[in-house]
Amino acid sequence: MSRSVLIFVAVALLLPSLSLAKCVAPVKVEPVIHQGVRYIAPNDDGRRAYIEARDVQTNKKLWDLTIFTNRIDPTLEEDVQWVFIKALNIRDGALVVTSERDKIYRVDLKTKTVTQSGLTKRDEKDCIFVPPVNGRI
């Protein structure tokens, strides 16, 4: 009887520590190839989401570019704040990068400039509509 009570107490005390939030490993992003260059998202740093451009034939790294960075709140567990790239695509000669939070970034491959598109579906859910009062906001 006392042994089963001891096991029950041990399990009850250890159970909360097993349920602490941990970041899941980032998804493997399939590289895309455009005009002899392979674009990859290494997803090896949760603070900085970046892409690498590599020559398809030699695999030589041509350049890398930060797409977005994550501000880390020091009062929270760091790894649950990381955001990674989840998809790469080529559209109209530009590299389209999608984050795990469904934000879309467009990389001009000639100038290497990054622009973020407008609101995502997730952002729209978080928006609060404030109707104008007497034509004013």
Query: What is the spatial order of strands in the sheet that 61-69 belongs to?
Result: 32-34, 37-40, 48-55, 61-69
Please state the rounded mean pLDDT for residues 28-38.
Answer: 96
Residue 11 pLDDT more than 90? no
Residue 129 pLDDT more than 50? no
Query: What is the residue-averaged pLDDT of the chain?
Result: 80
Instruction: Give the torsion through C-alpha atoms of 29, 30, 31, 32, to 10 deg.
Output: -120
For residue 114, the model assigns a pLDDT of 96
For residue 27, the model assigns a pLDDT of 81
For residue 61, the model assigns a pLDDT of 98
For tokens 């674009």, the residue is 39
Q: How confident is the model at residue 117 (pLDDT cuts 50, 70, 90)?
A: confident
8 against 117, higher pLDDT: 117
Exposure letters 62-75 (e unless 16+ CB within 10 A, then b)? eeebebbebeeeee
Q: How confident is the model at residue 132 (pLDDT cuts 50, 70, 90)?
A: very low
pLDDT per position as a tens digit, 42-89: 998 888 999 999 999 999 999 999 999 988 899 999 888 899 999 999
pTM strictly above 0.75: no
